[in-house]
Amino acid sequence: MKIGLSTSALLIQAGVAASSFVRPLQTIRGTAVGPKVDGSRYMKARPVFDRILPKIEGPRHELKYANRRTITRRALEGIFGREHKVYSALGLAANSYSILMALTHYAMQVGVGEFVSQFRRHATTDDHIPVHENDFIEIARRHYLEGIDRYARALSLDVSIEGTEKLPKDGTVFVLSANHASIFSDFLFAWADPAAVPVAAAENFSDAPSVRKSGAGLFFDLMGLPMIRRAGGKNGGSVERAKVSASDVMSLRLMELIKEHGTMPIYFGQGGRVPTAYDDYGLRAKAGFYSNVPDPLEPHTYFQAGAVILTAWRHAKRTGSDVSLALMSLTGTERVMPKHVARKFPFYGQTRIGERIQYRIVDVLKISPKERRLREVAKRAVRLLKDDIGIDAYLEGVVARWAKLCGKPELADDFLAAAAEDETYLIVADRIHSFNPANRWEQRRGFVEELVGCLEQHVSTGKLPKERLERLLAEVSVPM
């Protein structure tokens, strides 16, 4: 969605004029709106939010829209079914409205002339608003809450958020989340705590010209959206590998957001979205966990917990205080807007309505400034997340069906025992599961037969077929 500078400025000015007729807004020019000091994160934000519309009560731990069978929804389902690009357009329209209203309010605060100047500068340069000068951040996040709520309404989503009582009331909190299987529907946790904001890819939410020229980039800057830039893996690997450096500009900006505004960054340990999984009939299945391929030259890597843990540890060292690492599982979004449907901003593509999504805080780990076993922390975090998602037991059932199809039903009970000896079995099975049989049936069937063959050789000889399994891993890890 590309909008010229003059067009966008006119839209904002029109919004300022029209808003006085649509909603009774308060002008807050010159009012300090920085974060308060006492109380919970939400209560710190609420006095600011109460100064300006929209009025939203919170925090909320569920959004219930799946059963709202409005006339409009019935008509759309009758014409397009439950899955179509039209639902993506509705969701984007809902988000765009909230972004427009947020920018309108910002223009009212700083004055239209100053706003247009900032808009032009933001659209034509790579500049960011200095964190310590951003007095609009909590109002922008208010509009962010409204925007994701509008998105949930537009897509008739049911969202439940559990385990927030485990989150500490004080101190810095980093969140490590999985599975990352969708886009906007993976960002809804802020309703439980407005300080929680997803860490986004700068190439999609900041660097792209379409983001900056449309005004969306300015909004993301105003709401303090944490960013990370991805770099190619060594020897030309995939761009999915996250760049983490003590001197990285985006990393330093995140530290400022935490210090100045109490931001709770949500990291998606898989980096990009996990590939869509399919059953043997070509229907979308439970999202994978081991299926991601951050770097095809390192096929054993599927989850990058080290990035958030290293960043959290650096923050702990910098402040001299423990940092909390909250582990959050996210299930049910894989059918909303899966990978390969929409790759880049504004993420327009085939979208499904009426899904049920669950966020759950699984556990909270502590990272101290003196922590020296970061690898062990990462392993524990990954284990807790995948156990909560239940991916190993699910893959056991998948491989059991494959063994029967290959005429080897007796191998069904041996998969997890073999996987306990070598995790490669799980990685291979999960990646095979992401090959769509509708257009890659022969390739998928060949991989299934080879996996069952590896398992049979392992069971019959009592020895791990290391070379054979590694060769298969390399074959199923080629980017699709």
- How many structural domains does the chain have? 2
Lowest average pLDDT, out of 50-54, 269-273, 435-439, goes to 50-54
Give residue 5's pLDDT band: very low, low, confident or very high (50, 70, 90). very low
Residue 17 lies in a domain: yes
What's the pLDDT tens digit per position in 48-62?
444 545 566 668 889
Q: What is the pLDDT of residue 238?
A: 41
pTM of the model: 0.84
Q: Looking at the structure, do residues 139 and 179 belong to the same domain, yes or no?
A: yes
Residue 287 lies in a domain: no
Q: Looking at the structure, do residues 23 and 50 belong to the same domain, yes or no?
A: yes
Radius of gyration of the chain (CA): 23
Beta strand pairing call for 158-162 and 62-64:
antiparallel
Q: What is the pLDDT of residue 229?
A: 76
Q: Looking at the structure, do residues 457 and 333 belong to the same domain, yes or no?
A: no
Q: Looking at the structure, do residues 265 and 396 belong to the same domain, yes or no?
A: no
Residue 292 lies in a domain: no
Q: Is the pLDDT of residue 177 over 90?
A: yes
Task: Output the six-digit token pair for 218.
Answer: 């300015």
Q: Which domain holds residue 436?
A: 392-476
What's the pLDDT tens digit per position in 334-357?
889 888 777 777 888 889 999 999
Residue 280 lies in a domain: no
Average pLDDT over residues 45-74: 72
Using CA of residue 12, residue 18, residue 24, residue 27, what is the dihedral sign?
positive
Residue 298 lies in a domain: no
Residue 295 lies in a domain: no
